A = this chain, B = another copy of it.
Amino acid sequence: MKISHAARQAGLPVKTVRYYADIGLVKPAGRSMSGYREYDEAGLAKLGFVRRAREFGFSIEECRELLSLYEDRDRASSDVRTIASAHLAEIEEKQRQLAALRDELAYLVKTCQGNDRPDCPILDRLG
């Protein structure tokens, strides 16, 4: 299977699949005689796996770890859970920051009358 087919099946741009090959995240099964990357079913599954993990916000390095656990039929589920829990904690921290930010900004937007007068609590708050 050539790269565009694999990319389409996995739901990823061709550029991204090539990038994942370059950084050694998901390597093609081999190369054709003319140098084309060749993907098999296993590679396809890994590409899809990475796409979904990325959609979950896992970083490339986290994907690398998850992928090695995914391929290791003898791994313990606690290893996976550790990575996922850490990521979950990061997400929740980000949520807290975002919520605080939103509240403060929403207050400013609400307070600002948004008319043609120069008085503006938003700028007052920033300046």
Contact = CB atoms under 8 A, between A and B. Distances in A.
Interface of A: 45, 48-49, 52-53, 56-57, 66, 69-70, 73-78, 80-82, 84-85, 87-88, 91-92, 94-95, 98-99, 101-102, 104-106, 108-109, 112-120, 122-123, 125-127
A121 to B, nearest CB: 8
Contacts of A101: 56-57, 91
Given A66-B126, A81-B113, A88-B109, 20 more contacts: A48-B127, A53-B126, A75-B118, A76-B117, A77-B113, A77-B116, A77-B117, A77-B119, A77-B120, A78-B114, A78-B115, A80-B120, A84-B105, A84-B108, A84-B109, A84-B122, A88-B102, A88-B105, A91-B98, A95-B98
